[in-house]
């Protein structure tokens, strides 16, 4: 059995032959009733038509009822033809479902700069069988991912939050992630969703980095169809944040070529924003990521990264620990390098930094940098 969708949602996928591999590559997600929704899209200025269209739908203030996504082709940098193909994809799904095109959000992921084969989408959509589990849809949106990324939480009264995302490379979101869809059957107003969503993004997906590259197609969407009624809002947002943090960690661990999850915790900053900036700078540093891969406790690279982040601190007050072992506390500490190196041979490597400036806290997630990352991206289209 797969992960069950919240009440009122159905999903499915098919092999539309967009991916050369022949794997599932076209997914459809539908709610039986219109949903309130919140949306965040990439800050990359070369944003794909799916992101630009999503922004326009979002600004219109209307409700959403379906999402159609293709993988294997980003439909980005494809000119007016790409814009028309994206619009046509929404229209085809709308006709099939008997709803307005404006109630359908599109998404695309894959190689940039190739025309979207809309004829394959037109042929594939009628083949999709909708069901109560999210797994088929999840499978259809994967690209270089090695594993699916899913999380769920239950709210008082039985309402649920279910989230999925895809992404493995080209990840330092600067908004959200590659593609993330969070669904709930709780009744939450559109105004409330839109007020709270960006704060969740800032604490979860915006704190993930694999390679510092912001995708052209990134989006994160939160939908609520209200099928299970109202829920306490504090519990709702705690559940949504928990699901998104879980997905963020899964994204980092499945980074292209990664062998370890890298978690960076920063405390004592002047603000939470500065703490998050410092944590992300450490998690994104190619030098530190390489050291993590090689089990090298070269804490100077952590100091370098927090220094370039722009966060305020004094070197003689900073504290740095690795796997719970103090390495620096305003001065160089004596430590057994071999023992610390051995401690780094773990599924998760944890760096803790105290800037000793204030009460700000932040966490970021990344992964080690390996030869496999280079191999994957050296041969991506060849």
Catalytically active residues, by annotation:
177
CB 25 within 8 A of CB 109: no
Main-chain phi, psi angles of 72, to 5 degrees: 100, -10
For residue 67, the SS3 value is strand
Distances (CA, A) of 216 to 109, 173, 305, 371, 376: 9, 10, 26, 25, 19
Q: Smallest Cα–Cα separation from 280: which of 265, 269, 293?
A: 265
| Residues 24 and 140 sit within 8 Å (Cβ to Cβ) | yes
Neighbour-count burial for 245-274, b at 16+ CB within 10 Å, e otherwise: bbbbbbbbbbbbbbebbbbbbbbbbebbeb
HEC assignment per residue over 164-177:
EEECCCCECCCCCC
Closest CA to 327 of 305, 354, 348: 354
Query: Residue for token digits 């359908």?
Result: 104
Return d(Cα 88, Cα 117) in angstroms, integer: 11
Q: How far apart are CA 43 and CA 53, in angstroms?
A: 14
Cβ contact 193:37 at 8 Å: yes
Give the bridge partners for 355, in sequence order: none
* CA distances from residue 329 to 197, 207, 280, 333, 357 in whole angstroms, order as listed: 37, 25, 21, 7, 14
**Contact at 8 Å (CB) between 65 and 99?**
yes
Query: Could you give the CA distance from residue 382 to residue 377 in angstroms, rounded to a whole number?
Result: 10
Edge-to-edge, what's the strand order for the sheet holding 261-269?
Answer: 325-329, 319-322, 348-354, 261-269, 360-367
């Amino acid at each position: 059995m797969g992960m069950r969708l919240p009440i009122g949602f159905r999903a499915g996928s098919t092999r539309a032959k967009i991916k050369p591999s022949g794997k599932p590559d076209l997914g459809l997600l539908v709610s039986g009733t219109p949903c309130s929704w919140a949306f965040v899209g990439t800050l990359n200025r070369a944003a794909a038509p799916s992101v630009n269209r999503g922004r326009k739908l979002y600004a219109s203030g209307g409700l959403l009822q379906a999402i159609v996504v293709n993988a294997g082709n980003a439909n980005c940098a494809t000119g007016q033809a790409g814009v028309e193909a994206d619009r046509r994809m929404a229209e085809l799904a709308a006709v099939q479902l008997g709803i307005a095109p404006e109630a359908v959000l599109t998404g695309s992921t894959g190689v940039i700069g190739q025309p979207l084969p809309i004829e394959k989408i037109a042929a594939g959509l009628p083949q999709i069988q909708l069901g109560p589990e999210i797994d088929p849809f999840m499978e259809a949106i994967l690209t270089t991912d090695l594993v699916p990324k899913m999380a769920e939480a239950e709210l008082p009264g039985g309402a649920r939050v279910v989230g999925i995302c895809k992404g493995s490379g080209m990840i330092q979101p600067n908004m959200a992630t590659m593609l993330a869809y969070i669904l709930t059957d709780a009744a939450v107003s559109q105004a409330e969703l839109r007020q709270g969503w960006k704060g969740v993004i800032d604490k979860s997906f915006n704190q993930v980095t694999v390679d510092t590259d912001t995708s052209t197609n990134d989006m994160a969407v939160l939908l609520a169809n209200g099928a299970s009624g109202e829920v306490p809002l504090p519990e709702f947002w705690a559940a949504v944040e928990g699901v998104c943090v879980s997905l963020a960690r899964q994204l980092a661990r499945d980074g292209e070529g990664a062998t370890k999850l890298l978690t960076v915790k920063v405390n004592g900053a002047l603000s939470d924003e500065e703490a998050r900036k410092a944590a992300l700078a450490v998690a994104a540093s190619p030098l530190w990521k390489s050291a993590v891969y090689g089990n090298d406790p070269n804490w100077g690279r952590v100091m370098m990264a927090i220094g370039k982040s722009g966060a305020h601190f004094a070197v003689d007050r900073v504290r740095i620990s690795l796997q719970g072992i103090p390495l620096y506390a305003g001065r160089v500490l004596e430590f057994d390098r071999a023992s610390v190196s051995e401690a780094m041979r773990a599924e998760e490597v944890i760096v803790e930094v105290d800037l000793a400036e204030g009460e700000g806290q932040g966490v970021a997630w990344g992964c080690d940098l390996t030869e496999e990352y280079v191999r994957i991206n050296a041969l991506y289209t060849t």
